[in-house]
Amino acid sequence: MGLNKKRKDIVVCIRIPDPETWYKAKKYASEKGYTLGALVCNALKEYIEKEDKIIRLLQEIKNILETREYTAAKTAIIQEKNLPEYIEGNPWIDVLKRRRR
């Protein structure tokens, strides 16, 4: 007899080092009408979805910060170009810029 093509279940063996956690999970699954496997599957799906959302939000924050840094740097360059010659290259200008932030 060949492989049963209708079945798509995957059997996985996991080790749960804390028996109390296993008992709580088993009880919770039973109360919700799940098998332990369905409970684990649902938990994994939720974890992956939340992690994907966090990664997207972090990427969004990174893009915003990079845009702001670029804008700030561009503004600083423009402002430095408008400075009188005797101020150009003065190391105190950098010190004063940092204090302003």
Mean pLDDT over 93-97 rounds to 73
Domain positions in the chain are: 19-83
Mean pLDDT over 53-71 rounds to 86
Residue where the block lists tokens 């080092």: 17
pLDDT on residue 23: 94
* Phi, psi torsion values for 68, nearest 5 degrees: -65, -40
Mean pLDDT over 60-89 rounds to 72
As a 3-state breakdown, the chain gives helix, strand, coil percent values, each rounded to 5, of: 70, 0, 30
pTM above 0.75, yes or no: no
pLDDT on residue 1: 42
Mean pLDDT over 7-28 rounds to 88
Tell me how far apart the terminal alpha carbons of the chain are, to the nearest angstrom: 74
